[in-house]
Structure 1
Amino acid sequence: MQLYHHPYSLDSQKVRMALEEKGIDYTSYHLNPLTGKNMNVAFFRMNPSAKLPVFQNGAHVIYRAFDIIQYIDRLAVHLSGEIVPVNTEVYQWMQKVDSWNPKMFTLTHTPIKYRTFVSKFIRRVLIARMAESPDLASMYHVKLREAYETEDRLKDPDIMKQSEEELSELLDDVEAQLNNGKYLAGDEFSPADSMFIPILARITLLDLDEEYINCRPRLLEYYALVKQRPSYKVVVGKFFSGWKKYRTLFKTSFFLCVRTLFRKY
């Protein structure tokens, strides 16, 4: 089993949390979306959406985090030989968490100068790949158009407001649900938690804890609890806890500056 992912990718974190929780071994391939590595020709041929993560088990390839986590859950049950009844509540919470798209929220809370620099670099990467692989030029052009459309959407304050409101509604629902148990679907950690925890980690990365987490006591208690899990420490803590966050971000910033200086896209 192979996983194409990166620590920066929120959906990648969701899948890796699920894999770590189930104790499933896999071969890891890092593709940094901030440096355009997910646009490399070999990966792009396999996955023209260029989105992370991608999970491959033999000839079976899955592209969507929600579907990958469901597959992992079924695989873990099969390997254990147990017959586990379908938990409707877990599935419903997975759907609820998956319905919120973090992309616009993340971008609108990223300093404009950094966001603009990365966006410009990615567009140059796409143009370079179009020249490198003419047979894929039309698909790369789709991604280039998407990049420009995203920049236009970021100028609309209503989009930012909508994303924030949807997140607040999700967190309020979780706050109420945590009155019924330690985790999203009761007292047992589930795939729903694997999907939700990276959202909290993203909020922390953007230094928005006070606004979204600390004001919700049940959620704050839950977050402290899950931070102690080995899966969190491996997937998130290893890269974004304390000074490690700055090391992780510095490495990417240095790469982008050097590549831009020498026009190596």
Structure 2
Amino acid sequence: MRKLYHGPTSVCSQKVRVALAEIGLDYESQMLDLQKGDQFAPAYMRLNPEAVVPTLIDRDLVLVESSLIAEYLDKTYNGSAFMPDDPGLEMRVRHWLLRCLAVHAAINTLSFSTFMRDKALETKSLKEIEAAISRMPDPVLRAKRRDLYANALKSDHVAQALRHLLRTFEDMSEHIGGGAWVSGPAFGLADIGLVSYIDRLDRLGFSGLWTDDFPMIATWLDAMRARTSYAVAIAEFIPEATALAQRAGGAVHWPMLALRWRETIAESERSTAAS
């Protein structure tokens, strides 16, 4: 039996749960409370030294990194049905799985500079927040987290996140326009890899990032949410009270984020015109 260490609202955990649901695989659930710091327990860090979720144990294998786990599950238990046979489309999907690292960093930035930052500041002392940051193994990520707490949406990390998301939306729209899914004509691993990130932005009330300029993203997200895997892997893990709190918390920051987004688009247009 597979054992999954995961968090209920963790976007990377959601991605792996979607893959498991799409393939129809059962698993033993080991839920970690990331707010309490379960991910820093020595026993867990022996499995995942980065102290992040998810981690999947399958027989004698310990698997980390959500995109790799999704591809492993597809190859091992699904005959690679979610990886296109066409070499060009296969490279597209593999590229998206690599790009998920940058997309994840962008979603992390927007989450911790808005709703999650506010929530932590309301419920924890500055000393408690610093203690939690100090436990993060990666010194670069520790520095980023401190900067987001200090500067919120004024952080330079936000500018970087928005540039990544602009390219993401541009390329997603191009690929969806050329077929029903990001992966191509058929649903696949790229769609599994991206859904939790776009869903998080929407749940924070940030859909304005795509509604005007990239409407195909909304169509694609609706199609993803219509799949059974979304209901059992994402929606069922987010209580209504949590969903309402996320949207309300994000809404407070949307005016400033929208301003920075228009600046990002304008900067990209100037760069294109100058080249």
TM-score interval for Structure 1 and Structure 2 normalised by the shorter chain: 0.7 to 0.9
Amino acid corresponding to residue 58 of structure 1 in structure 2: R
Aligned partner of 1:226 in structure 2 is 224
* CA distance in 1: counterparts of 2:46 and 2:99, whole angstroms: 31
Amino acid corresponding to residue 28 of structure 1 in structure 2: S
Structure 1: 5+ residue stretches without partners: 128-139, 250-265
Aligned partner of 2:167 in structure 1 is 169
Aligned partner of 1:191 in structure 2 is 189
Amino acid corresponding to residue 23 of structure 1 in structure 2: G
Identity %: 22
* CA distance in 1: counterparts of 2:180 and 2:80, whole angstroms: 27
Question: Contact between 2:54 and 2:65, CA under 8 Å: does it hold in 1?
Answer: yes
Aligned partner of 1:30 in structure 2 is 31
Aligned partner of 2:200 in structure 1 is 202
Aligned partner of 1:113 in structure 2 is 118
User: CA RMSD of the aligned region, Å?
Assistant: 3.1
Aligned partner of 1:95 in structure 2 is 98
1:49-75 CA-partner distances (Å, limit 9, x unpaired): 111000111221011112111211111
Amino acid corresponding to residue 90 of structure 1 in structure 2: V
Question: Contact between 1:175 and 1:216, CA under 8 Å: does it hold in 2?
Answer: yes
For the structure 1 residues 104 and 204, does the alpha-carbon distance in structure 2 shift closer, same or farther, using more than 3 Å as the test? same
Aligned pairs, how many? 235
* CA distance in 2: counterparts of 1:179 and 1:194, whole angstroms: 18
For the structure 1 residues 182 and 215, does the alpha-carbon distance in structure 2 shift closer, same or farther, using more than 3 Å as the test? same
Q: Does 1:61 align with 2:62?
A: yes
Amino acid corresponding to residue 174 of structure 1 in structure 2: M
* CA distance in 2: counterparts of 1:27 and 1:141, whole angstroms: 26
For the structure 1 residues 115 and 164, does the alpha-carbon distance in structure 2 shift closer, same or farther, using more than 3 Å as the test? farther
Secondary structure in 2 matching 1:187: coil
* CA distance in 2: counterparts of 1:61 and 1:200, whole angstroms: 27
1:122 Cα offset (Å): 5.5
